[in-house]
A and B are shown apart, each in its own frame.
Chain A
Amino acid sequence: MFNLKKIKQNAPAVPILVWTGILVGIPLIYVVVLSFLSRDSLGNIVFEFTWENYKRIFDPVYLKVFYNSFLLAVLTGLITLLIGYPVAYFTANLEANRRSLAMGLIILPFWISSLLRVYGWIILLGNNGLINSLLLKFKIIDKPLTMMYNFGTVLVGTAYMLIPFMIVALYNSIDKLDRSLLEASYDLGASKWKTFFKITLPLTMPGIAGGFTLVFIPALGLFFISDLLGGGKNIFLGNLINAQIKGRNRPLAAAFSVGMIILVLLVLYIYTRITKNKKEGLFL
């Protein structure tokens, strides 16, 4: 029998379910189904079940791409954390009116097109770029340093692009921290550093995990940064999927996408384990 009360209770959730069903559920099913289909020589989809696309992921060339992307995403998470934590900590401890100013300044550059900002890095790091010209001018070096088109360049660009997410997540967590706990720790004989590692860090772990997740997920899929800063040698997942779609191999692109989704789910699983039993988190 229908439980009328329960239906009434859950009624407000219906529009949300319909919305996510159309915009998230259907495309996701489409991608999963697509990843099991074949294509003809012209690149048209053929409705014929195959494991072939998934088998190709295990081709060493593609595995290397997965590994590169995973490494890039993890390192981006770590770098943004190391830079973002002091910034967020400092900002959260400012007076109220300065705090909103600082947060505004952190977010301000992100009103400019991200493409332009990536080009900014080229101007800075290129062979004829700002850093090289200055170093050459002051005779510190006698031929330009190669700072462009390698893994490091892509890492710098990605970290730069995503660091606001990390700072905002950390800021929220640090801001919520009860300052009297820190005072209690000093009072009981702990130094500032000990207090940081024994109280501040554990209590802001949800912010760290949240920031890491928010940075990790886009870092795995961004392709225009590696396109512009990585040159042709450094292929990441985003580039690979993009290339497969352009090359009219959509089933293979779909299989790579599913692989990427699995990596993301893995990180989300770890995230929920860390924030379990804590009264804060991205999904609470």
Chain B
Amino acid sequence: MTKVLLQLKKVNKYYGNAHILKDISLDINDGEFITLLGPSGCGKTTILRCIAGLENIDSGEILLNGVSIKDLAPNKRNVNTVFQNYALFPHLNVYDNVAYGPRVQKSLDEKELRKRVAEVLELVQMSGYEKRMTHQLSGGQRQRVAIARALINEPDILLLDEPLGALDLKLRKYMQTELKHLQKQTKTSFVYVTHDQEEALNMSDRIVVINKGEIQQLGDPREIYNNPRNLFVADFIGDRNITRVEILEKNNNHFKLKLGSNIIDIKCFAAAAEDCEAGETAILAVHMDKVRIYCTETPNSLLGEVISIHYAGSQVRTEVKIDAEIVTVIEYQNSNCDYNVGDKVYLSWEESAAVLLPLEDDTEGSNV
């Protein structure tokens, strides 16, 4: 029943000599909320601009409903954008801003237009603000007007370029829920660009993790969070301890690992772990909040020394030194034992919390 709405096929984009997008292939389904997630400069906004037609692609193909749109001007594509700075027209009031699309396309007469504008303003809860000028609105209100202005054209796809970036934390949380709600209500595909993993995990049906112009992983939030396919994703999503380990034995999904002078057994069902072979050096990534600290030896645990403890409200961050590696542990309540800086402690974690990844040639930039 899922229908593919937009297809990117091996899209490449250069700025001068810089290769911004490298063979980006991606299918976007009808009615889904898909997020392009990555650090700044990774090319996520460029993908959005290529879909909107604000940038030309150097090679590849973009199909909307199976029809190529790569050579169409932005005003000929049934795709609308909510810009990062909203880009509301400062010389027009809210009504005229929202009415801009249908007016330039001459798609509605004034009477229908009035009805449509009222509808979309109602949808974003901005009824009654028609006569306001945009500089009289707050950040959140501008955001809503920008969404209404884009939605009035009934686009096949709504593109959102870090739309919550300029809002304060509380409003941002609220607008996340609002946006998700709006997306369900309008049944429009949303392509959402952000560098904020929490936003992405919260709202998306699927997440595309992008780095250096390449898609690193595509999957639903749970998969991206729990089952990273490579080191970049493991490091970028969720707070993880990332350490080098030696694989001593491999038995299907069971591994015996050497970490410093400790030897532990883990189970790892992640697809990436299948590429790890005995005798190799690999990467072990464990979520910081899934590591437990014990004062007495427990089976299958690592011995280390507490080197610092930070109390940060509801959570406690403890740094433990295991031979040459430093592991950070986030605990929400310290129930297992009391410890102080300098104490010897034992660390262990739930079996599913650890991910084993093959060592990549390109490990620069990560903290391994």
Residue numbers of A with Cβ under 8 A of B are 178, 180-181, 183-191, 194, 198-199, 202-203
Contact = CB atoms under 8 A, between A and B. Distances in A.
Contact of B90 (A187, A189, A194, A203): A203
A184 B90 contact: no
A189 B153 contact: yes
Tell me what chain A mostly uses at the interface: helix, strand, loop, or mixed. Answer: helix
B54 interface: yes
Contacts of B73: 186, 191
A212 to B, nearest CB: 19
B111 interface: no
8 contacts: A183-B81, A185-B100, A186-B53, A187-B150, A188-B104, A189-B75, A190-B104, A202-B91
A194 B150 CA distance: 18
B135 to A, nearest CB: 9
B54 A188 contact: no
B139 interface: no
Contacts of B83: 180, 183-184
B142 interface: no
Contacts of A184: 81, 83, 87-89
Interface of B: 52-54, 73-75, 79-81, 83, 85, 87-91, 100-101, 104-105, 149-150, 153
B104 A187 contact: no
Contacts of B53: 186-187
A185 B91 CA distance: 13
Given A178-B85, A194-B104, 19 more contacts: A178-B87, A180-B85, A181-B89, A183-B81, A184-B83, A185-B100, A185-B104, A186-B53, A186-B75, A187-B53, A187-B54, A187-B80, A187-B81, A188-B101, A188-B104, A189-B105, A189-B153, A190-B100, A198-B104
A190 B80 CA distance: 12
A178 B90 CA distance: 10
Contacts of A202: 91
A195 B215 CA distance: 35
Contacts of B90: 181, 203
Given A180-B83, A194-B104, A187 B74 contact: yes
Nearest to B133: A277
Given A185-B100, A186-B54, A203-B90, A191 B75 contact: yes
A183 B87 contact: yes
Contacts of A178: 85, 87
B87 A190 contact: no
